[in-house]
Amino acid sequence: MKKSLVLGFFDGVHKAHRMVIQSAFECSDDVTLITFKESPAVYFGKKAECILSRENSVKKIEKLGVKEVVELNFPEIASVTAEDYLKNLIGTYNPISISTGFNHTFGKDKKGNPEFLEKYQKEYDYKYICVPPVKENGSPISSTLIRNLLIKGEIEEANRLLESNFVLEGTVIHGAKLGRTMGFPTANIKYPEDIVKIPFGVYGVKWQEHTAIMNWGMKPTVNNTTEPVAEIHILNFDGDLYGKNISVEVLKQIRGEKKFGSLDELKAQIKEDIKQCSEL
């Protein structure tokens, strides 16, 4: 059976990305997706904060039925012409079809685009599938749109467009253990540097089957940190997670970061925050 190819970076694997991937199955059940190990933006000297780690994006892609995900090193192919890149794809995979989004580009000077792929489909004997914009309220769904929603703390809307929950991962580190003395022990992780930053504040999150609450920020009430930290209090859990890698799904922002007049005020607010998280 001939392969179908899908081309793109697919940060977050959101609703529109899924449409591109699903289009490939119209021609073959054997689908290979060609992507990159890191955002091409890094090569061009831009800051690249992703919606999901590449590992998690690949997992989402594979769950859609894609048989093979090929991660290329962008710097190694950045100067390759669009035609040479296409010739290499044809020679390597002999695809029955190639699918991309409407704004996908490749090759030197970004000369590989939908018009280019459409032009060469007869010469190289493949069907080109260009997926048009998938719109929401008149605007195309894109990784940029979702990143902006996350930056503004609009977690629920971002998750809806992702068709999954925004995820934070990290190794549990030791903190000041103040939460434990207040009756709210936390698993603390450093926010991943390469993931888009949500606003400081309190969030309803989920760890495995457990409801949890996360405080992300500088802890202004206690003022005992010089860099922001994500503190996760897991409800109905009593275990040792130090040194373990955990992954939490972020469901909703409960409130912004706030400095309280005393630890008693903070403790009372945490109890109220937990009530809200329990209802998610």
CB 4 within 8 A of CB 31: yes
* pLDDT at residue 194, rounded to an integer: 92
Residue pointed to by tokens 């400081």: 200
The whole-number pLDDT of residue 1 equals: 82
pLDDT, position 99: 98
- Region of 263 (left: φ > 0; alpha: ψ -120 to 50; beta: rest) is alpha
For the chain, list residues with pLDDT below 70.
176-181, 183, 224
Does this chain's domain 4-140 share its CATH topology with 165-278? no
Return the pLDDT at 44.
Answer: 84
Q: Is residue 63 left, alpha or beta, with left meaning phi > 0 and alpha meaning psi from -120 to 50?
A: alpha
Kindly tell me the burial class for residue 44, based on how many C-beta atoms sit within 10 Å of its own C-beta (0-12, 13-18, 19 or more).
exposed
For residue 268, the one-letter residue type is A
Residues 6+ positions from 194 with CB-CB distance below 8 Å: 48, 49, 50, 53
* Cα distances (angstroms) measured from residue 185 to each of 33, 69, 172, 207: 43, 40, 12, 15
According to the model, what pLDDT value does residue 105 have? 94
Q: For the chain, what are the domain ranges?
A: 4-140, 165-278
The CATH fold assigned to 165-278 is Elongation Factor Tu (Ef-tu); domain 3 (2.40.30)
Statement: 4-140 belongs to CATH 3.40.50.620: yes
pLDDT for res 132: 97
Does the pTM exceed 0.85? Answer: yes
Could you give the C-alpha distances from 96 to 33, 119, 133, in angstroms and in order? 13, 15, 23
